[in-house]
Amino acid sequence: MQSQSSWTVRQTRASDQGAISSLLTNASHKHIHFDWLNVLDLLDEAPFLIALNKDGPVACLACQPDPPQVAWIRLFAVLKDVPKYPVWDQLWKAAAEDAVKLGASQAVALATQDWFIPFLKQYGFIETNKVIFFKWDGDPLPNTQGPGIELRKMATEDLPAVALVDQSAFDPVWALSLRSLRTAYHLSSLATVILKG
């Protein structure tokens, strides 16, 4: 088992993509946030920290503020022989400090695996929501057309207005940034808007 003094921490860069991909493949513990953004596309954005020893990466943590005031923990991964709590401690303290400097007023995580919950609780995270997933099997939708209402396919030029609606409809922690909405739009098979006349 490695000691805390056996690794160094630094911000990732685009050239780390292969090393991070390998770390994710070989990690014994891995938290990846359900998100529209691909975490490997965020290597140049702080805070995305990597812990390295003489052999290469042993752990990483990413929590870039998006939207600007909310630092979602997008990724935490650690190799088997690395002490998980000490490396988390070192990565989280540095990442939290960086996120605050970038304007984040809160950090949040969607803990989808039980092993990750103690890491969060140890640093004062508290459970505030339960996420419930719903599934639609393609049944016919009810008629949403009415007087003065138009339903149409969303267009790229609608995205800034959709972002404003999203940000006014949800608390900041659940609102999507324009960047996330753009990514979601391009990945979607169907996107619609309702216009009120």
User: So what's the pLDDT on residue 139?
Assistant: 85
Single out the residue of 169, 167, 184, 34 nearest to residue 192, CA to CA: 184
Phi, psi of 192 (to 5 degrees): -130, 160
Q: Domain 4-122 carries which CATH code?
A: 3.40.630.30
Phi, psi of 9 (to 5 degrees): -120, 135
Task: Please state, in angstroms and as integers, the Cα–Cα distance from residue 156 to each residue in 117, 161, 193, following that order.
Answer: 38, 10, 11
Confidence bin at 78 (pLDDT 50/70/90)? very high
Model confidence pLDDT, tens digit, residues 7-60: 999 999 999 999 999 999 999 999 999 888 999 999 999 999 999 999 999 999
**Is the pLDDT assigned to residue 1 strictly greater than 70?**
no
User: So what's the pLDDT on residue 53?
Assistant: 94
The radius of gyration of the chain from alpha carbons, rounded to an integer in Å, stands at: 20
Model confidence pLDDT, tens digit, residues 14-24: 999 999 999 99
Single pTM value for the model? 0.88
Q: What is the identity of the amino acid at 10? A: R
Query: Residue 152 CB: number of other CB atoms within 10 A?
Result: 10
| Cβ-defined contacts of 19-24 (< 8 Å, 24+) | 19/50, 19/56, 19/57, 20/50, 20/57, 20/60, 22/56, 22/57, 23/50, 23/57, 23/58, 23/59, 23/60, 23/77, 23/79, 24/77
User: So what's the pLDDT on residue 47?
Assistant: 98
Domain residue ranges of the chain, discontinuous segments joined by +? 4-122, 149-196
**Is the pLDDT assigned to residue 192 strictly greater than 90?**
yes
